[in-house]
Structure 1
Amino acid sequence: MRYVIIIPDGGADYPLDDLDGKTALEAASIPNTDKLAATGRLGTAVTTPKGMPCGSDTCSMCLLGYDPARYHTGRAPLEAAALGIELAPTDWIFRVNLVTVIDGLMQDHSGGAIRSDEGRQLLETIEQAADFPGATFHPGVSYRNILVDRSGERDWSRLITTPPHDIPGEPISRHLPSGAPDADLLVSMIETSEQRFAEHDVNLTRREMGETPATHVWPWGQGIKPDMPAFSEVYGRRGAMITAVDLLAGIASLIGWERLDVPGQTSYHDTDYAAAGKHAIKAIDDYDLVCVHIEAPDEASHAGDAATKVAALEAIDRHVVGPIHEALVQRGEDWRILIMPDHFTRVETRKHDPTPVPFLIAGHKMNGVVERVYTEAAANEADLKIAHGHELMEFFLDSGVR
């Protein structure tokens, strides 16, 4: 049996006026996905546990079969794992975004989709300027970076931080780090970045080119290294991950999956969808389970861009779902596909939403009784409801098999 998981990140949504009252999934032409839905099983799963924030860290961990209430220690440690950063038990890890703040309001959580080489230069500047003893900075991809507090002297367990993508258009003064004795170190770092980035060569060039400048650093998602058992120990299968996002790559690393290097992968609609599909097909022979994560629908939602969200879902269907399904059928071996966003990301609000997500499972012994298409409404009408999202993985892998 071979398994494939396809994650259209943030693909689920609510009806939109811009789409004539349809969701992006309803508006998109996704014939390959609908073909699977017609013979497979649809349902919904709760990927945001009660009392936890609706973030890609908790929701992705849940989707991949691990209970966030047990294993989640923060988002940043997951991304640090993807970068191969060595961590001690006493280290505290922070995600550090490069963001755009205009007139005190959070305008863009991605610093204008800043390029990695530009982000690295800005991060070097703040590392030299910030008064933060014991801190080391690690550049990531685009606007995503990591800070590690290796002092061993500070307790950040009561610190309150806010993901920047949760506060579009809101005053940052209401969401500055607070609640911990040393929160002022982080606030000072944010203020210092505003001063140092204002006339930085990177931002001068971006303004000349008509691009959005990255005006501040924004720390959040703090935590310590989690202890997660290997996927092979829990579920008895070897897995591999295709993703452009360090968060998913980090979770994969912590559960013993290999991250597959696929050229052309980005977080946006300029990603090479076809390359992701082709490399997944090649990997099917080498792994029991291959996971393809596409970030583009989520980023389009955060940008409030319904048209690009629809286009991203259509590209996933055409270049990922269709070719993978065809390859699995041609192999002549039993197979299953799970298609499932980690969470809703609403174009209207530009934020994540904890509504139970629609999923589709097709393949070996996964025949539905009612022929459906893959939409939020159709999934809600189905009788398969998973109250604890991490339990869906066992159903996907083993129902009717063992």
Structure 2
Amino acid sequence: MQKIIKDLVQKNNSKILMIVLDGVGGLPVNEKTELEAANKPNLDNLAAASACGLHMPVGYGVTPGSGPGHLGLFGYDPLEWQIGRGVLEALGLGVELRKTDIAIRVNYATIENGIIKDRRAGRPATEESRKITRRLQEKIRKIDNVEIIFEPGMEHRFAVVLRFPEPLPKGADSIKDTDPQKEGKAPIEVIPGTSQAEIVAEITKKLINEILNVIKNEPKANYVLFRGFSQVPDIPAFADVYGLNPLCIAVYPMYRGLARLIGMEAPSLSGDIKEEIEFLEDNYNNHDFFFMHIKKVDSYGEDGNFKAKADKISEFDTFMPRIFELNPDVLIITGDHSTPALMKSHSWHPVPVILNSPYVLGQTCKAFTERECLKGELGIFPTMNLMPLALANAGRLKKFGA
């Protein structure tokens, strides 16, 4: 689809704003989903006047990670472009990656008697975890002939980059996560999935042992879980494909990393919804495509906190008047995947979406909920078709064929 779209693109002065409420889709608890339980009059009124539907990030029954979910939103086929979370995390934290690098996303965790007690080490304060990560960088700089780069992240997260002296063959990042995904289990061993990954696995084993020697006396962050081993892909730039000048507005590093991977401007930013909207307002005249990411909706879903997730959606709704004041030509509000509090995890369920422009039918649904969006004019469609719809509604696509 991108190859066709690239030839149809025409530039104009329109502005497209895509707001991603991470993990917004849910499932009923006491007969209501989080969206149905939230108090969101602005979003509901917008949905009634917009094209609505449900999008499918990867395919029926396939639960997407955040990387594939966002790539689909940006119009990239997630089956073609499979990007590891390690690369996204490192890029988002500002690490300039090379072709010789393996990037890894790491969680601090709590281990007791060989069993993971808390996969996120109690979600430590960011400054607290950064102190530990800085100590690791002071103590560990090389394993054999491989440079080790530690980059502090948010809360329990940080990134590790293994910088080898020479480029690695394809498949060198084929190593399973050591995170068992559930508390009460032992961490997974570092096992190479290909012969090309054997050297990376050996360095990783040595690195984990050295890390544990440094943090073994920490009260909570006394273990590490390695996730998303990945190499840097060669992916088309967003601006080249769509003729847009994009800006990413995201607090969490991984999402800035994904944006940078496809060439978006993605400055570091702290705060929450208020600070993100202020940044949007301050930079609105300098770009024509805006990706704004709201993380905590997903975090509360993964914690199984139904009320907090619904309340975060309600909080976002109170900022909608400021979004309306900007009057973007195309306004999209959706998620990258569903994260039902009922499941405490990402899920395969299609994701509700609002697309507002002067060129939609509207009046096909009454609220921004999963059930109402199912009645919308967009139906259920592949996520990667959302960008062509946005461009068409912005008047940025020429006719195809004679």
For this structure pair, what is the TM-score category when the shorter chain's length is used for normalisation? 0.7 to 0.9
Q: CA deviation at 1:69?
A: 2.1
Report the secondary structure of 1:391's partner residue: helix
Q: Which one of 335, 341, 345 corresponds to residue 347 of structure 1? A: 341
Determine if contact 1:119/1:139 at 8 Å carries over to the other structure.
no
Distance 1:158 1:231, change over 3 A: closer
Matches of 1:108 and 1:235 in 2, distance apart? 43
How far apart are residue 194 of structure 1 and its match?
A: 4.6
Q: State how far apart, in whole Å, the 2-side matches of 1:99 and 1:256 are.
A: 33
1:215 partner amino acid: N
Displacement of 1:315 in angstroms is: 1.2
Match of 2:181?
Answer: 167
Unaligned runs of 5+ in 2: 1-13, 398-402
One-letter identity of the residue aligned with 2:322: P
1:4 aligned residue: 17
Partner of 2:161: 148
Over the matched positions of the two proteins, sequence identity in percent amounts to 25
For 1:1-400, what aligned pairs fall within 5 Å after superposition? 1-16=14-29, 20-49=30-59, 54-102=64-112, 104-127=114-137, 128=139, 132-133=143-144, 134-142=146-154, 143-151=156-164, 152=166, 157=172, 159-162=174-177, 164=179, 167-173=181-187, 175-180=188-193, 181-182=198-199, 183=201, 185-187=203-205, 189-190=207-208, 193-194=211-212, 196-200=214-218, 203=219, 213-262=220-269, 264-265=270-271, 271=272, 273-319=273-319, 321-328=320-327, 335-385=329-379, 387-399=381-393
Change over 3 Å in CA distance of 1:281–1:73 after alignment to 2: same
> Residue by residue, what CA displacement relative to the aligned partner does 1:260-310 show, whole Å, maximum 9, x if unpaired?
454x42xxxxx3x22222222232222111121010011111222112111
What is the TM-score of this pair, normalised by structure 2? Answer: 0.83
Matching residue's letter, 1:35: N
SS in 2 for 1:346: coil
Give the equivalent residue in structure 2 for 1:207. Answer: none
Secondary structure of 2:374's counterpart equals helix
Q: How many residues align?
A: 373
CA drift at 1:223:
1.1
Structure 1 gaps of 5+ residues are 204-212, 266-270, 329-333
After superposition, the CA RMSD in angstroms is: 2.7
Asked whether the 8 Å contact 2:91–2:258 carries over to 1, the reply is yes
Q: Is the 8 A contact 2:73 2:336 kept in 1?
A: yes
Cα distance in 2 for residues equivalent to 1:163 and 1:366: 47
Q: Distance in 1 between matches of 2:117 and 2:287?
A: 42
Residue aligned with 1:377, SS: helix
TM-score, structure 1 length as denominator?
0.83
Query: Could you tell me how far apart the structure 2 residues matched to 1:51 and 1:14 are?
Result: 15
How far off its partner does 1:346 sit? 2.3
62-71 or 106-115: bigger deviation: 106-115
Per the alignment, in what secondary structure is the counterpart of residue 339 of structure 2? strand
Separation (CA, whole Å) in 2 of partners of 1:304 and 1:163: 23
Equivalent residue number for residue 9 of structure 2? none
Contact 1:77 1:93 in 2 (8 A): yes
Q: 1:322 to 1:100 in 2, by over 3 A?
A: farther
Aligned partners of 1:327 and 1:390: how far apart in 2? Answer: 26
98-107 vs 292-301, which moves further: 98-107
Shift of 1:46: 1.3
Aligned counterparts of 2:178 and 2:380: Cα–Cα separation in 1:
27
User: Displaced runs of 4+ in structure 1, greater than 6 A?
Assistant: none
Q: Distance in 2 between matches of 1:172 and 1:50?
A: 31
Aligned-pair CA distance for 1:109: 3.7
Q: Closer, same or farther in 2 for the Cα pair 1:348/1:169, shift >3 Å?
A: farther
Report the CA distance between 1:248 and its aligned residue: 1.2
8 Å CA contact retained: 2:133, 2:152? no
**Cα offset for 1:131?**
8.1
Output the CA distance in 1 between the equivalents of 2:178 and 2:249: 24
Could you report, residue by residue, the CA deviation over 1:197-234 in whole angstroms, capped at 9, with x for unpaired residues? Answer: 2424xx4xxxxxxxxx2221111111111222222211
Q: 1:237-273: CA deviations, max 9, x gaps?
A: 11111111111111221222222454x42xxxxx3x2
Q: CA deviation at 1:13?
A: 1.0
Distance of 1:60 and 1:30 partners within structure 2: 24
